[in-house]
Amino acid sequence: MFLTSVYGQASWDAVVVSAGMRQGDFEPMLRYAPAHSEAIIKAAAEHLERSAEGLLEDMGTHLVAHRDMESLRRLLRFSGVSYVDFLNSLDELPGRARLALDDDVLPHFVVEEAADGYYYLTFEDGPDWLYPLMIGVLRGMADDYGALVTVEMQTGESSEKRLEILIFDANFSIGKAFDLAS
């Protein structure tokens, strides 16, 4: 959906062929073996001459900011009235995703609140490509709530990855309109 929406059907067709698949072999909302997902990501990055991480970040932002994805944005906004509420409810997101999809498409999220506006997000059993995708989602949702944040990848001494979210101002600007009754 992201690639065809932003780069066109011809780009998607080229990516599928480059990844060694046939047209119609890949549906965006289904679960695939890690090798297939990684092949699509690699082929897309090469075709578009972008880093895989940058492409995945853009995809994450697209998931929550593009008008065609309004239903996902609304699902995420049910997390609360503030960006902090949203962060604190991320551990519930896999369960909410199961309401809409038949499969466990998301790993378990662990959010740790630290001092002075710092939060840390890790995944249990998630693929590595989920980290840059979630950077885009988290930045996009910060804009949606009107929060001024930074989201960065951190790799620890034991190669453990986590996302560091720093909230500079939770009420930096007026967020996008959201009404539960809409």
Residue spans per domain, the chain: 2-50, 60-169
C-alpha–C-alpha distance, residues 156 and 18, integer Å: 34
- Give the tens place of pLDDT for each residue, 53-98: 999 999 999 988 888 887 778 888 877 889 999 999 988 877 776 6
C-alpha–C-alpha distance, residues 48 and 36, integer Å: 18
C-alpha–C-alpha distance, residues 45 and 41, integer Å: 6
- Give the tens place of pLDDT for each residue, 106-123: 788 889 999 889 999 998
Would you state the structure tokens that stand for residue 84, as one six-digit string? 């902090």
What's domain 60-169's architecture? Alpha-Beta Complex (3.90)
pTM over 0.85: yes
